[in-house]
Amino acid sequence: MFDVVLVANRGEIARRIIRTLHVMGIRAVAVHSEADAGALHVAEADEAVLLGGAAPAESYLDVAKVLEAADRTGAQAIHPGYGFLSENAGFAQAVLDSGRGWVGPSPACITAMSDKVNARNLMSAAGVPVAAGTREPVLDADAAVVAARDLGYPLMVKASAGGGGIGMGVAEDEPGLRAAFETARSRAERFFGSPEILLERYVRGARHVEVQVLGLADGTVLALGERDCSVQRRHQKVAEETPSPGVGSDLRARMFAAAVAAGQAVGYEGAGTVECLVDPGRQDFFFLEMNTRLQVEHAVTELVTGLDLVAEQLRVAAGDPPGFDPAAPPVPTGHAIELRVYAEDPQRFLPGPGTITRWVEPSGDGIRVDAGYHDGDTVTPYYDPLLAKLCAYGTDRAEALARLRAAVAAFVVDGPKVNLPFFAELLAEPEFVSGDYDTGIIERMRS
Amino acid sequence: MAELRAEMVANVWKVVAAEGDAVSEGDTIVILESMKMEIPVLAESGGTLSRLAVTEGQVVQEGDLIGVID
């Protein structure tokens, strides 16, 4: 195992990784921007290196500066967290070329999965079901209209190189497709540096369910449970739970088998997530994409399996066996739900940066809070709005919900706008409470 | 006269309209960016954009003046 690991991230995920490094007796190196000099992840690391200015391009996304920090601190491996450089194959390769461990899958895996068109074709060839969609990147609106004649409406329009829901839109007809195409293309170029667009048949009333996989150092790929991520605004997740209330045991078995096949098809190593769309009525699913990194919502899987996924990632990267018997991986028990506490207003979900004047985290049986901020911190406009993940475990869904309601009521964040009042609403919303909800739930709550 | 003000701390990503432009209600004047999200600032009424107070790349605070429509 490594003695020194650099965490190339910020906020709650940097703290969460540092926590495991310390449990494993590994020295933790943090990196930070000027805006984050007083951040908790910097204070909690054994050593911290200033990268540069607040803008991500000058700090957390600057490959040369991160590698220089690793050099200076003697870091033997780099954990990228999620976002930033985590799915940058060039960075992964540079880390490996510098003789360090990379806590993630191989650069070839990252490349194969980062292009959604390529990933879809690869999965289809491996026998994983994919939704009807374009097999080649679509480059202009006229070509999109032609493709739509074969595929039929409604269609999901998204950046082939994209992620995080950025630029995604649903088109119901030709004028809608032209508008959605232009939006997707301009965002794709700006955020992902590629204008390539993918069209996919949009499934109404679908749930977004993903499978956690772990590729071990010996090549075994395991499915460690699913997460339902159907509570979304702007195609971005705000709440996740496991097990999914919309997935029956037969469908679950088929999804796990497909996720393992997906991982094996690319020789996957480490933690990854196979995202799918589920048609709950038909108990059918389609592959959407694979995220080649630790997922934001990995905490709910940890709560029901007792695993420490960061520790398992580190073991794989170091070539060590897992911390459990791979012939009998932990069977999930109970129910866990995560809420993403964002600095945004609870009505329109617009960003609300500001200085935190009071921060009181809830605690209690089954409650886990992974936070990136505390009293006195300023939430700046430079990074994503995630302040904390509030998770609750229960022996069943009703218990998890009850614990979560109390925790939401007890969570105090004064200063920036936060979406906690929205979560109080969500936890009282009959559709959510019933478990019978889909990706349209927030839109219905706000219409 | 109608003043357009920033609703939050943000970076001015794109200036869409120019000072002196005739604008209609709902036209995009500038696009702000905050926390990885684009937030268009729209004309709340039609008229002439008599003043544009921001430039691309500038950081605006909540309440800062973005433009004036006469």
Average confidence (pLDDT) over A119-136: 92
Contact A381 B34 (CB under 8 A): yes
Would you place residue B61 in the very low, low, confident or very high pLDDT band (cuts 50, 70, 90)? Answer: very high
Would you place residue A187 in the very low, low, confident or very high pLDDT band (cuts 50, 70, 90)? Answer: confident
Contact A344 B35 (CB under 8 A): yes
Residue of B nearest to A384 (CA): B35
Average pLDDT of chain A to the nearest whole number: 96
Average confidence (pLDDT) over A143-164: 91
Contact B39 A166 (CB under 8 A): no
SS3 A326: coil
Q: Which residues of A are catalytic?
A: 293
pLDDT over 90, % of chain A: 92
Average confidence (pLDDT) over A365-381: 97
Q: Which of B14, B34, B58 to mutate to test the interface with A (most CBs of A within 10 A)?
A: B34
Residue A167: the pLDDT is: 84
Encoded amino acid at B18, one letter: A
* A43-A56-A383 Cα angle (round to 5): 70
Would you place residue A417 in the very low, low, confident or very high pLDDT band (cuts 50, 70, 90)? Answer: very high
Residue A308: the pLDDT is: 98
A383 touches chain B (CB under 8 A): yes
Q: Which residue has the higher pLDDT, A183 or A434?
A: A434
- Interface of B to A at Cβ within 8 Å reads 7-11, 33-39, 59, 62
Residue A79: the pLDDT is: 98
pLDDT tens digit string along A49-79? Answer: 999 999 999 999 999 999 999 999 999 999 9
Cα B51 from Cα B66, distance rounded (Å) = 8
Note the Cα A301 to chain centre separation in Å: 13
The CA distance from B2 to the nearest CA of chain A, in Å, is 22
Residue A161: the pLDDT is: 85
Contact B39 A383 (CB under 8 A): no
pLDDT over 80 at A164, yes or no = no
Residue A193: the pLDDT is: 82
Residue B37: the pLDDT is: 87
Contact A351 B59 (CB under 8 A): no
DSSP 8-state code for residue A83: S
Residue A277: the pLDDT is: 96
pLDDT over 90 at A192, yes or no = no
A343 touches chain B (CB under 8 A): yes
SS3 A142: helix
Would you place residue B36 in the very low, low, confident or very high pLDDT band (cuts 50, 70, 90)? Answer: confident
Would you place residue A163 in the very low, low, confident or very high pLDDT band (cuts 50, 70, 90)? Answer: confident
Of B35, B38, B62, the CB nearest to A343: B35
Residue A203: the pLDDT is: 87
Residue B43: the pLDDT is: 95
Residue of B nearest to A187 (CA): B38
Average pLDDT of chain B to the nearest whole number: 94
Cα A288 from Cα A165, distance rounded (Å) = 12
Coarse DSSP helix, strand, coil percentages of chain A, rounded to the nearest 5 percent = 35, 25, 40
pLDDT over 90 at A314, yes or no = yes
